[in-house]
Amino acid sequence: MGACLEVMLAALIVPSVGWRWLLALSAFPSLAFVCAVKFWLPESARYNVAIGKNDEALETLERIAATNGKPMLLGRLIVDDDLQFMSRGRFADLLAKV
């Protein structure tokens, strides 16, 4: 459906105002989704534990359990010690040759 909508939008927009406006209008729904997700989608519980935010990780897991209608699992939140001492990735690492 999205592809058909984009074709119809292109047929209407490109002849009158050009491809730049088509690009801007096509990007708007994605931008709106990204802005909405910031408030709706929780951070990963594993990431929160890894950076020392155990309370936030527990809240995330409790919210997931409540959403799924399941009881909270018993146990402790831990992170492997080896992972905490690894350096975090850099943007340049994505572009480096392996």
The 10s digit of each residue's pLDDT in 1-40 is 889 989 999 999 999 999 999 999 999 988 999 998 888 8
- Radius of gyration over every alpha carbon of the chain, rounded to an integer in angstroms: 22
* Residue-range domain boundaries for the chain: 1-33, 42-85
Output the pLDDT for position 6: 92
Give CA–CA dist 54/56, Å, rounded.
5
Burial of 86 (0-12, 13-18, 19+ CB in 10 A): exposed
Identify the CA nearest to 60 among candidates 78, 71, 50, 46: 46
Model confidence pTM above 0.75 = no
Give CA–CA dist 98/93, Å, rounded.
9
Give CA–CA dist 24/70, Å, rounded.
43
Cβ-defined contacts of 42-50 (< 8 Å, 24+): 45/77, 46/79, 49/77, 49/78, 49/79, 50/79, 50/83, 50/84
Output the pLDDT for position 22: 94
